[in-house]
């Protein structure tokens, strides 16, 4: 009976081992580390305490039938095995009845671990059944760090895009990175529309981003798992990011040097300022940048990602006209700053100039493209965002 109780979990471990090309101790420690920020920590501690008690009973305690010990040990092992198992699929959605149903369907269809950050308190009986796979953080100021860590571990993502809430827009934005979009299933509404992507200024049809309707979700996720399982490079997987989960507060917000390109884009000037400052990030604002209240709030929210994700070296908000770059990355690649584009004076602008794109903004766009290309060559990330 004890063996039959553990058999499904052993199978999940074996399937995950095959999927990821191996599960090393670093990956297991990363997965267990995340439990400390969720309600699952208490379950893990209780299970380990029960296992220790059973071992103590076997050694010095009163005689207990071996069958009873075996059953109790298997009961204690189940949460440990589940919580230590790296997730195969990360499900991103807002807490709702729809998300509960989709999450249950994914767990039923995929014989490996599927995790989500849904609120257990809003899931009713489904939440109690799948409690060990809910990675909802105990405090709201660490959920973005949790999302980043789970993205680094899980090879496949399923994103429900039918709602326009702030968290969903943020998670959908993360999934649009080229290295992630190919391993993501974007679930649309019944009309084939993705509201959270449209809210971020992304029309999937214009960017060749495949979307899936709800009925085809499981098939699409299993297909991506099979594709990933057949990739020879999968063994380099999932142990790269060991950045700690950080709270979203003023202490974790990186320091920023803001440079307004009012006189033009001068690479030598940027290098001098980068050498002179001790700030972590350098922000560049184009002459016609629209830094209104919403844009400022968005740039502040996204700047925290530099603390959460060590691979993120730059961010370019195209509509806003604002770019942020890590100081270290800028100084490591000075050859990309061989540029000098003066700003056109409004008093000297001709009708032809009015019909042309603003030169400094165009030059900054090309510089960000060069930074993104160099970052990709070095295994780093430079994000482009529409808003």
- In this predicted structure, what is the pLDDT of residue 298? 60
All CATH 3.40.50.450 domain ranges in the chain, comma separated: 2-236
- For residue 31, count CB atoms less than 10 angstroms from its CB and return exposed for 0-12, middle for 13-18, buried for 19 or more: buried
Q: What are the DSSP calls for 79-140, one per residue?
A: HHHHHHSPPSEEEE--SSHHHHHHHHHHHHH-SS-EEE---GGGSHHHHHHTGGGB--BSSG
State residue 325's pLDDT score.
94
Q: How far apart are CA 308 and CA 145, in angstroms?
A: 6
Per-residue pLDDT, 236:
43
Between β-strands 256-260 and 281-285, what pairing exists: parallel, antiparallel or unpaired?
parallel
pLDDT in tens, the chain (387 residues): 656 768 888 899 999 999 988 888 888 988 999 998 988 999 999 988 988 888 887 777 677 777 777 778 888 888 999 999 999 999 998 888 888 999 999 999 999 999 999 988 888 776 778 889 999 887 777 888 888 889 889 999 999 988 777 777 778 777 877 778 889 999 988 888 888 887 766 777 776 778 899 999 999 999 999 988 877 655 444 445 556 677 776 677 788 898 988 888 999 999 999 999 999 999 998 876 666 656 566 666 677 778 777 888 998 887 778 899 999 999 999 999 999 988 766 555 555 655 566 788 889 999 999 999 999 999 888 988 765
* Strands of the 211-212 sheet, one edge to the other: 114-116, 89-92, 156-160, 184-187, 211-212
**What is the DSSP-derived secondary structure letter of residue 7?**
H
**H runs (alpha helix) in the chain:** 2-20, 25-35, 40-60, 66-84, 97-109, 124-129, 143-153, 166-175, 178-181, 195-199, 217-229, 267-276, 293-303, 305-308, 327-332, 351-354, 359-377
Distance CA 52, CA 39 (A): 21
Taking the mean position of all CA atoms in its chain, how far away is CA 151?
4
Q: Whole-angstrom Cα distance, residue 92 to residue 89?
A: 10
Domain with residues 2-236, CATH architecture: 3-Layer(aba) Sandwich (3.40)
């Amino acid at each position: 009976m004890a063996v039959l109780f553990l058999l499904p979990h052993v199978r999940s471990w074996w399937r995950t081992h095959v999927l990821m090309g191996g599960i090393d101790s670093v990956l297991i420690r990363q997965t267990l580390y995340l439990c400390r920020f969720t309600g699952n920590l208490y379950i893990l501690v209780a299970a380990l305490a029960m296992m220790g008690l059973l071992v103590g009973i076997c050694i010095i305690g009163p005689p207990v039938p071996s069958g009873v010990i075996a059953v109790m040990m298997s009961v204690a092992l189940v949460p440990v095995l589940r919580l230590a198992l790296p997730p195969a699929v990360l499900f991103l959605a807002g807490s709702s009845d729809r998300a509960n149903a989709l999450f249950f369907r994914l767990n039923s269809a995929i014989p490996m671990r599927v995790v989500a950050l849904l609120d257990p308190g809003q899931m009713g009986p489904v939440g109690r059944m799948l409690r060990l796979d809910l990675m909802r953080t105990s405090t709201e100021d660490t959920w973005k760090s949790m999302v980043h860590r789970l993205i680094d571990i899980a090879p496949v993502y399923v994103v429900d895009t039918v709602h326009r809430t702030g968290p969903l827009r943020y998670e959908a934005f993360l999934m649009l990175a080229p290295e992630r979009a190919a391993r993501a299933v974007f679930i649309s509404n019944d009309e084939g529309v993705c509201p959270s992507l449209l809210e971020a200024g992304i029309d999937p049809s214009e960017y060749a981003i495949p979307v899936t309707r709800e009925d085809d979700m499981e098939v699409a996720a299993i297909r991506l798992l099979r594709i990933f399982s057949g990739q020879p490079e999968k063994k380099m997987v999932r142990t790269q990011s060991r950045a700690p989960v950080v709270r979203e507060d003023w202490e974790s917000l990186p320091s920023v040097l803001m440079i307004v390109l009012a006189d033009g884009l001068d690479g030598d000037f940027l290098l001098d300022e980068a050498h002179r400052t001790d700030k972590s990030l350098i922000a560049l604002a184009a002459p016609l940048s629209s830094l209104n209240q919403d844009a400022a709030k968005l740039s502040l929210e996204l700047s925290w990602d530099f603390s959460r994700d060590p691979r993120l070296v730059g961010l370019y908000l195209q509509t806003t006209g604002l770019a942020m770059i890590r100081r270290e990355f800028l100084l490591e690649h000075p050859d990309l700053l061989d540029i000098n584009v003066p700003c056109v004076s409004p008093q000297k602008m001709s009708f032809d100039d009015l019909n042309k794109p603003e030169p400094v903004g165009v030059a900054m766009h090309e510089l960000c493209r060069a930074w993104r290309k160099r970052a990709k060559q070095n295994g780093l990330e430079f994000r482009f965002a529409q808003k």
